[in-house]
């Protein structure tokens, strides 16, 4: 029977609890666990999970390349659309045509809102400059970790030991 990993894990834990509650020596427990076939089945499932994960990872470079290609295509299409609109504007100005009525839309020349053009920044009075606020101080987790490892008390922080999957 092909059981999912979570079901195998549950069976393994149930068997381990039952064996721990019984009065069995360590060898009998190990032999019973091995005879159940659960460790081998869990190992097979773990191997399968890792193979699928590696297959997903193998697709990543191709996906990255496709993302880059699509970003370049998007940039090229946007540049072409902008160039066409600029071409149209220049020709409408040269022809002295202000409005073109079309069945789906109306094309017209419109003035942009006034924009500030700074031609010599040195001449502008200081009143027209702003100062960005100073950035807030940033925690140095490496410094905190070293202090905690050296048995110093750091209020509001503690070392936590996590787990990770190691595959070699």
Domain that holds residue 97: 5-109
- If one compares 167 and 69, the residue with the highest pLDDT of the two is 69
CB contact at 8 A, 146 and 139:
no
- Quick one: pLDDT at residue 1? 65
5 pLDDT exceeds 70? yes
d(C-alpha 13, C-alpha 21), whole Å = 12
Is residue 78, in this structure, part of any structural domain at all?
yes
- Quick one: pLDDT at residue 53? 95
Is residue 138, in this structure, part of any structural domain at all?
no
Q: What's the domain count of the chain?
A: 1
Is residue 123, in this structure, part of any structural domain at all?
no
d(C-alpha 107, C-alpha 101), whole Å = 6
What is the mean pLDDT of the segment spanning 80-89? 97
d(C-alpha 155, C-alpha 99), whole Å = 69
CB contact at 8 A, 144 and 138:
no
Is residue 128, in this structure, part of any structural domain at all?
no
Is residue 40, in this structure, part of any structural domain at all?
yes
List all residues 6 or more positions away from 158 whose beta carbon is below 8 Å from its beta carbon: 148
Coil, helix or strand at residue 157:
coil
Is residue 129, in this structure, part of any structural domain at all?
no
pLDDT 10s digits, 17-40: 888 888 788 888 888 888 888 899
Closest CA to 8 of 28, 33, 32: 33
Q: Residue 103 has which token pair?
A: 């069945």
Is residue 48, in this structure, part of any structural domain at all?
yes
Is residue 130, in this structure, part of any structural domain at all?
no
Instruction: Answer positive or negative: Cα dihedral of 107, 113, 118, 119.
Output: positive
């Amino acid at each position: 029977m092909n059981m999912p990993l979570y079901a195998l894990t549950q069976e393994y834990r149930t068997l381990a609890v039952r064996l721990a509650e019984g009065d069995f020596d360590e060898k009998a427990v190990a032999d019973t666990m091995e005879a159940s076939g659960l460790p081998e089945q869990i190992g097979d499932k773990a191997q399968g999970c890792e193979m699928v994960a590696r297959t997903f990872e193998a697709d990543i470079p191709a996906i990255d390349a496709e993302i880059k290609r699509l970003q370049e295509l998007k940039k090229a299409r946007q540049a072409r659309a902008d160039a066409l609109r600029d071409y149209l504007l220049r020709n409408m100005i040269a022809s002295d045509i202000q409005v073109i009525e079309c069945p789906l839309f109306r094309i017209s020349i419109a003035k942009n809102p006034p924009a500030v053009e700074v031609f010599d920044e040195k001449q502008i009075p200081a009143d027209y400059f702003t100062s960005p606020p100073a950035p807030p101080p940033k925690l140095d987790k490496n410094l905190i970790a070293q202090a905690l490892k050296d048995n110093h008390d750091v209020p509001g922080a503690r070392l936590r030991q996590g787990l990770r999957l190691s595959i070699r």
